[in-house]
Amino acid sequence: MADPTTNRPLDPVRPTLSRFRRMRPTTGKSGQFGIAFWLPLAWLVLISFTAIFAPWIGIQDPDSLDFINLQTPPNDAHLLGTDHLGRDVLARVIYGARVSLVVGFCAPVVGMLLGLPIGMIAGYFGGRIDGFIVGAIDTFLAVPGLVLLLLFSLIFGGSLLVVTVSLGLLFIPIFSRISRAATLSFKSSEFILAARTIGANDFNILVRELLPNVVLPVLAFGLVAVAGAIVVEGALSFLGLSVPAPHPSWGGMIAGGREHLEESPHISIFPAIVMFLTVLSFNLVGDTLRSRFADVREAAI
Amino acid sequence: MRYVLKRVRRLVVVIFAVTLFTFLLVNVLPGDVAYDIAGQDASEEEVQAIRADLGLDRPVMVRYVEWLGDFVQGDWGRSFRTDEPVVEAILSRFPVSLELMLVAQVFALILAVPFGIIAAYRAGRTTDRAIATAGFMSLSIPSFMAAILLILIVSLNLGWLPTSEYEPLSEGLWANLRAFILPALAIAMAEWVILMRVLRADMIGVLQQDYISLARAKGLPVWHVILRHALKPASFSMITVLGLQIGNLVGGSIIIESIFALPGVGRLLINAIYARDFIVVQGVVVFIAFAYVMVNFIVDLLYAVLDPRIRTERADG
């Protein structure tokens, strides 16, 4: 017996993706993504593109000071105006996107790489191992995330690496919870039993049978996590505890314009708008994908 | 009873682990406290003297046990910048943080309850979707950004609430409260959405019950039915979430306190971090973790009191 489309032998042990297709829930009409998906996606592509190619798209140097044009409102030479040191706000917003996007993408990846195996092991083996892992996560959650981040920044200093890794650590609990819940929901399925019957060991079952099923809900949560990471990085750089000062970052720019809110609100407002749109876009795109691909999350938290 | 004991045991383990973790992090990792106290141009001898003075030359675990002993007895050390005892520093600022959180929760409720009810009543219609969209956008505004926007719009452009200094309660209730309005609103901007969603979901379920149809059939007006018959059973989950959110507010209020210059625990922490005042940081972190765990513990217990099913179910799990 062979699968007619791929001509490969049908593998009864791995009906992985098809399980999810059946679970797909309700939102949206027959698989169409609406404007609430494409518009934010377009914004994210635009932001990512300008951030990656920032040095080559003809914007000004984000660090060059212009003492003749301090705090000028938006004009032809400076599309979004200049800040209190005469630096071009547009250029700084674009270069600031680099920090937000790097932290935004890398921190959830760190959390996922560590949280996914932890959650799968807890869910799969159950018993004492599960009890220990759940207890450890509870303890970890006893300190509010931001407090922990402040503690890390105090001890290790503020740098892109420290912020990314410590924020990534904060994502371990949520990712391990999601993957634990997903593992639990698949653990007693027939295809696991079948794999065990043909002699697969625990490692094989975890990696080859469970992982493809668990990874979907985890990835679906990923984009929402990116939004969260960008917000927290923004908060840290707002407090001056993320990347060091002259380096542009959205939070830092919003904080820098605080002193001049009354006479030149544009210094704070433009980075705030860009950050808001970016966070909103990640939330919208992430939410659409999540409701499309996974609702195991609610099952066992 | 078994349930309570189980929770208490867990509480003790968690708090113990938090103190150990915080102590190790502050004491073992790079950036020796002694160098910070001595300042940049201190000689090696001076640093060694400070280290011996603080007992930093002894093994970490010995120091931890000693510290924990003092800690339990209420001696949390002194700030080496201001020489203020840490316990007093925290306790004198705690009421400010508490007030900020309470006012924020009140604002969140004032927004969440009407919108939650309307969204549930018009579930699936345009009004419901408009509220959901507004909530989604509101959630995407980080609290520090909300704070800046509120200052810009409410105090600078409209001139309604000039950014004011914090006044203690003894200066009069209004003088005291007005300093909390904008900061609490900045926090409530994200909180209300979560409460609203929970209320809406439960309310939709309650509105489908037979007794609601009966009340309507008797000819009672819609708003009477919703407010007198449906609201109470529908707000059960929302109140639980309200309690659990207090924990999250602790983190969120740190930034807000420092933006609005409110002398709360969060601002104490931020300033201690800027000043690299390790002893204060250590005390505040343990205090916050303790408060956070206690709140969750109490909410959990209250929940069990309200809903007897949990007592038996969770005692086994």
Which tens digits make up the pLDDT trace of B185-225?
A: 999 988 899 899 999 988 888 888 888 888 888 888 888 88
Least confident of A238-242, B129-133, B297-301: B297-301
pLDDT value of position A281 = 92
Mean pLDDT to the nearest integer, B280-290: 87
As a whole number of angstroms, the distance between CA B64 and CA A69 comes to 56
B193 interfacial to chain A (CB closer than 8 Å):
no
- For residue A297, the model assigns a pLDDT of 42
Query: Touching check for B10 and chain A: CB below 8 Å?
Result: yes
Per-residue pLDDT averaged across A235-264, rounded?
Answer: 85
Tokens of A4: 């007619």
Residue A166 is assigned to a structural domain of this protein: yes
Mean pLDDT within B285-292: 85
Q: Determine whether the interchain pair A280/B281 forms a contact, defined as Cβ–Cβ distance below 8 Å.
A: no
Per the domain annotation, does A64 fall within a domain? no
pLDDT band at B310 (very low <50, low <70, confident <90, very high): low
Q: Which of A84-93, A188-197, A228-237, B285-294 has the highest mean pLDDT?
A: A228-237
> Residue B314 contacts by C-beta under 8 Å, 6 or more apart in sequence?
B3, B6, B304
Q: Are the beta carbons of B195 and B109 closer than 8 angstroms?
A: yes
Q: Is the dihedral of CA B291, A237, A172, A45 positive or negative?
A: positive
Mean pLDDT of B160-170: 71
Residue A226 has pLDDT above 90, yes or no: yes
Q: At residue A203, does pLDDT exceed 60?
A: yes
pLDDT for residue A46: 93
Contacts A–B by Cβ distance under 8 A = 114
Q: Is the pLDDT of residue B15 over 80?
A: yes
Q: pLDDT digits over A23-45, tens only? A: 444 444 445 678 888 899 999 99
Which residue of A142, A153, A235 is in closest CB contact with B292?
Answer: A142
Q: Reply yes or no on whether the pLDDT at A17 is more than 70.
A: no
Question: What percentage of chain A reaches a pLDDT higher than 90?
Answer: 22
Residue extents of the structural domains in chain B = 86-316
The C-alpha of A267 sits at a distance from chain B's nearest C-alpha, in angstroms, of 12
Q: Read off the pLDDT of each residue in A86-110 and give the average, rounded to a whole number.
A: 90
Per-chain mean pLDDT for chain B: 82
Interchain proximity A139–B18, CB inside 8 Å = yes
Q: Which of residues 127-156 of B touch A (CB under 8 A)?
A: 136-137, 139-145, 148-149, 151-152, 156
| B86-316 classified as CATH 3.30.450.40 | no
* Nearest by CB: B137 against A145, A254, A280: A280
Residue A3 vs residue B20, higher pLDDT = B20
Of residues A186, A203, A205, A195, the one with CA closest to residue A17: A186
Can you give the pLDDT at residue A290?
Answer: 78
Predicted confidence (pLDDT) at residue B78 exceeds the cutoff of 90: no
Between B29 and B263, the more confident residue is B263
Structure confidence at residue B306 (pLDDT)? 67
Residues 6 or more apart in contact with residue B26 via CB below 8 angstroms? A151, A155, B33, B278, B281, B282
Separation in Å, CA of A276 to nearest CA in chain B: 6
Q: Residue A124 falls within a domain, yes or no?
A: yes
- Pick from B27, B144, B274 the residue to mutate for testing the A interface (most A CBs within 10 Å): B144
Residue with tokens 């449906």: B230
Query: Which residue did the predictor score with more confidence, A150 or A113?
Result: A113
**Nearest residue on chain B to A271, alpha-carbon basis:** B145
Q: Give the minimum alpha-carbon distance from A119 to chain B in angstroms, rounded to a whole number.
A: 18
Work out the pLDDT band at A294, boundaries 50, 70, 90.
Answer: low
pLDDT of A178 higher than 50: yes
Contact residues, chain B, for A279 at CB < 8 Å: 140-142
Between A52-66, A253-267, B43-57, B252-266, the lowest mean confidence (pLDDT) is in B43-57
What's the structural domain count of chain A? 1
Hey, which residues does B78 pair with through a beta bridge?
B85
- What pLDDT sits at residue A242? 84
Which residues between 69 and 88 in chain B have a beta carbon less than 8 angstroms from any beta carbon of chain A? none
B107 pLDDT band (50/70/90 cuts)?
A: very high
Which residue of chain A is at minimal alpha-carbon distance from B252?
A: A146
pLDDT at A13: 39
Q: What is the mean pLDDT of residues A91-116?
A: 92
Q: What's the pLDDT score for residue A109?
A: 95
Of residues A139 and B113, more confidently modeled: B113
For residue A2, being part of any structural domain is answered with no
Which token pair is A238?
A: 């707002």
The pLDDT of residue A16 is above 70: no
Angle at which helix A160-170 crosses helix A211-238, to 10 degrees, equals: 130
| CB contact B22 to A (< 8 Å) | yes
B110: pLDDT strictly greater than 90: yes
Picking from B291, B250, B305, the residue whose alpha carbon sits closest to that of residue B100 is: B250
pLDDT computed for residue B37 by the predictor: 67
Q: What pLDDT does A7 receive?
A: 39
The verdict on residue A95 lying in a domain is yes
Which residue type does A194 have? A
As a dihedral over the C-alpha atoms of residue B244, residue B250, residue B252, residue B256, rounded to 10 degrees, the angle is 140
> Which has the minimum average pLDDT: A175-189, B45-59, B152-166, B271-285?
B45-59
Residue at A11 is within a domain: no
Give domain status of residue A261, yes or no.
yes
Residue A93 structural domain: 46-53+77-300
* H, E, C per residue of chain B: CHHHHHHHHHHHHHHHHHHHHHHHHHHHCCCCHHHHHHCCCCCHHHHHHHHHHHCCCCCHHHHHHHHHHHHHCCCCCECCCCCCEHHHHHHHHHHHHHHHHHHHHHHHHHHHHHHHHHHHHCCCCHHHHHHHHHHHHHHCCCHHHHHHHHHHHHHHHCCCCCCCCCCCHHHCHHHHHHHHHHHHHHHHHHHHHHHHHHHHHHHHHHHCCHHHHHHHHCCCCHHHHHHHHHHHHHCHHHHHHHHHHHHHHHHHHHHHHHHCCCCCHHHHHHHHHHCCCHHHHHHHHHHHHHHHHHHHHHHHHHHHHHCHHHHHHHHHC
Q: What is the pLDDT of residue A280?
A: 92
pLDDT at position A299, please?
A: 40
- Looking up residue A88, the CATH number of its domain turns out to be 1.10.3720.10
Question: Which residues of chain B have a CB within 8 Å of the CB of A153?
Answer: 273
Enumerate residues 95 to 124 of chain A having a beta carbon within 8 A of any beta carbon in chain B.
none
Q: What is the pLDDT of residue A20?
A: 39
Of B10, B141, B255, the CB nearest to A238: B255
Q: Is the per-residue pLDDT at A139 higher than 50?
A: yes
The verdict on a CB contact (< 8 Å) between A261 and B156 is yes
- How close A1 comes to chain B (CA, Å)? 45
pLDDT of residue A65: 77
Q: What percent of chain B lies above the pLDDT cut of 90?
A: 11
Q: Which of A138, A154, A262 sits opposite B276 (nearest CB)?
A: A154
> What are the backbone dihedrals phi and psi of residue B26, each rounded to the nearest 5 degrees, phi first?
-75, -30
Structure tokens at B141: 């505004």
Residue A301 contacts B, CB cutoff 8 Å: no
Q: What are the chain B neighbours of A258 within 8 Å (beta carbons)?
A: 148, 259
* Mean pLDDT, residues A179-205: 86
CB of A178 closer than 8 Å to CB of A297: yes
Give the residue with greater pLDDT, B101 vs B159.
B101
From chain A, the residues in CB contact with B258 under 8 A are: 239
| Three-class secondary structure of residue A141 per DSSP | coil
* Contact A300/B at CB under 8 A: no
The CA-atom distances, in angstroms, between B174 and each of B131, B167, B177, B185 are 32, 9, 5, 16
Interface test with A, best of B148, B265, B280, B282 (most A CBs within 10 A): B148
Mean pLDDT of chain A: 80
Question: Measured between CB atoms, does A229 come within 8 Å of chain B?
Answer: no
A275 and B142 within 8 Å at the Cβ level: the answer is yes
Chain B hits for A40, CB-CB cut-off 8 Å, are none
For range A211-233, the mean pLDDT: 87
Q: Which of B17, B144, B281 is nearest residue A139 as measured by Cβ atoms?
A: B17
User: How many CB atoms lie under 10 A from the CB of residue B9?
Assistant: 10
Among the partner residues A142, A151, A275, nearest to B145 by beta-carbon distance:
A275
Predicted-complex ipTM score: 0.81
